[in-house]
């Protein structure tokens, strides 16, 4: 389903459809939640793929550009991504103590952003809101 869109994106850019890209896209599409590049690498290798770390790192920017994934947090000294699917938009609260991620969605928050954009004559396309703090488990 979404794989075809990525293939179309690749072809349209004059790039090539390779086994490595195919394996990476498939893995991303079937995996849930947030992931780091190296986790993707380990998962693919554990499934018998011969893909290299370099190809992972090369493919990720393409996945982002195609809209299939988005960078979500850079808490831990390395990047994290997640699958983008329609109607799944949410923002994040991230506990700086335990790393727990709370996903939340607020229609009023979205609408407020829209009106702020209108005020600046800015056409908002996407946004990333991360609230850093301490979750209830860690607040002693």
Partner DNA sequence: AATGAAACTGAGACTCTGTCTCAATTATAT
Partner DNA sequence: ATATAATTGAGACAGAGTCTCAGTTTCATT
Give the nearest distance from C-beta 17 to Zn ion in angstroms. 31
Radius of gyration (C-alpha) of the chain in whole angstroms = 17
Looking at the Cβ atoms of 48 and 136, the one nearer to Zn ion is: 136
Distance CA 67, CA 69 (A): 6
Size of the site for Mn ion (CB under 5 A): 3
Nearest to 18 by CA among 6, 32, 1: 6
Give the nearest distance from C-beta 1 to DNA in angstroms. 19
Among 3, 47, 78, 127, contact with DNA (rule: CB under 7 A): 78
Q: Which stretch binds Zn ion (CB under 5 A): 7-15, 101-109, 116-124, 129-137?
A: 129-137
Tokens 């869109």 belong to: 5
Check binding of 22 to Mn ion (CB under 5 A).
Answer: no
Among 8, 42, 54, 138, contact with DNA (rule: CB under 7 A): 54
Residue 130 binding target from Mn ion, Zn ion, a second copy, none, CB below 5 to 8 Å by type: a second copy
85: its two tokens: 């699917």
3-state secondary structure 43-58: HHHHCCCCCCHHHHHH
């Amino acid at each position: 389903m979404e794989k075809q869109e990525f293939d179309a994106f690749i072809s349209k850019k004059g790039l090539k459809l390779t086994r490595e890209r195919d394996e990476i896209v498939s893995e991303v599409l079937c995996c849930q939640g947030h992931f780091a590049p190296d986790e993707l690498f380990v998962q693919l290798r554990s499934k018998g793929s011969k893909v290299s770390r370099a190809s992972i790192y090369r493919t990720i920017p393409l996945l982002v550009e195609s809209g299939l994934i988005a960078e979500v947090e850079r808490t831990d000294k390395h990047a994290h991504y997640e699958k983008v699917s329609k109607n799944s938009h949410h923002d994040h609260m991230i506990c700086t103590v335990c790393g727990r991620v709370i996903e939340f969605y607020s229609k009023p928050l979205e609408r407020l952003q829209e009106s702020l954009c209108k005020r600046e004559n800015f056409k908002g396309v996407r946004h990333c809101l991360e609230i850093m703090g301490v979750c209830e488990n860690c607040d002693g």
